[in-house]
Amino acid sequence: MTLARHIEREVGDKVDYLFERWKGIEPYDVFMVNLENPVTLSTQKVDKEFNFRMHPRYLRALQRASINIVNLANNHVGDYGLAGLYDSMANLDSVGIRHVGAGRTLGAARSPVVIEKDGRKIGFLGYYGGGRFSATSSRGGVAPRYEPHILSDVRQLRGATDYVVVSLHWGDESSDRPSPDQIRLAHRIIDAGADLIIGHHSHTLQGIERYKEKVIAYSLGNFIFGGNGRSDYETAVLRLVLRDSVADVELIPIQVTRWQPHLPNEVTRLSILNLVRERSRIFSESISLSSGASQ
């Protein structure tokens, strides 16, 4: 989710416009996205090819959709430096939206968010590949995708929660399948105690694997992405319903039209499901992709 550049240029102050057609997907208790931009008014951008910046007024759009937790561990949250990151965390905190994957120190960036609902505790963690914006013990940044840290964090969180979700910004842009290294890491994370892995960065829908009764969605593609001028496309969200120790998992096809996500017609719904089904054939087991609502 990137509410920057073309979103700001074309939507402007009409913040409520983005989710006017977001109907039929609710209700839900927790809605998480990868927020791929800082939330800041800073003009001090870092030297890189693409810099995204979301105006704080668009936080109302997140609230309208009941988005209550975001992953900040990605390659654009640092586009306006540490000041932009710290502004982001403060702005999200001001409206009660939780965040994982970034912080003022490495320890803070690796810290989980735990949301309790109906007596169940769900723990969330987020990681990005690293690089110059990785957090350290004395400097803020994102939680690097360092396997020993991830496995340690998951094991620790496993003992304190009923369900563990790991958000990973990884893979190659435009790729329609994960690499062998991604699959290996995902399996290691599940073995350590995670229940669900949600991936992003490729900007494409990739396959969904069921591994040891757990679920790995290697990439859910773009939700609302203002990073380029393409305002009409097909994507999906993943819905989980926790029932005791079992989670029902459903992929919900989504059509985005002029930046507005909504349920598609039946033809488009089946097309999206078939695409993900085909891209899941590389796995020995995947989730059932026969369900999903339509208009």
Give the confidence band of 292 by pLDDT, cuts at 50, 70, 90: very low
Q: Is residue 111 part of a domain?
A: yes
Residue 268: what pLDDT? 97
**Average model confidence (pLDDT) for the chain?**
95
Whichever domain contains 177, its CATH number is 3.60.21.10
Give the confidence band of 136 by pLDDT, cuts at 50, 70, 90: very high
Question: 193-214, pLDDT tens digit by residue?
Answer: 999 999 999 999 999 999 999 9
Q: Is residue 206 part of a domain?
A: yes
Provide the number of structural domains found in the chain.
1
Please check the confidence at residue 79 and state whether its pLDDT lies above 60. Answer: yes
Q: Is residue 289 part of a domain?
A: no
Q: Is residue 262 part of a domain?
A: no
- Residue corresponding to tokens 């400097």: 139
DSSP secondary structure letter of residue 223:
S
Domain that holds residue 97: 6-228
Global pTM reads 0.96
Cα 126 to Cα 70: distance, rounded to the nearest angstrom = 9
Mean pLDDT, residues 227-242: 95
Question: 88-124, pLDDT tens digit by residue?
Answer: 999 999 999 999 999 999 999 999 999 999 899 999 9
Question: 166-198, pLDDT tens digit by residue?
Answer: 999 999 999 999 999 999 999 999 999 999 999
Give the confidence band of 289 by pLDDT, cuts at 50, 70, 90: confident
Question: 145-155, pLDDT tens digit by residue?
Answer: 999 999 999 99
Q: Is residue 283 part of a domain?
A: no
Cα 54 to Cα 3: distance, rounded to the nearest angstrom = 6
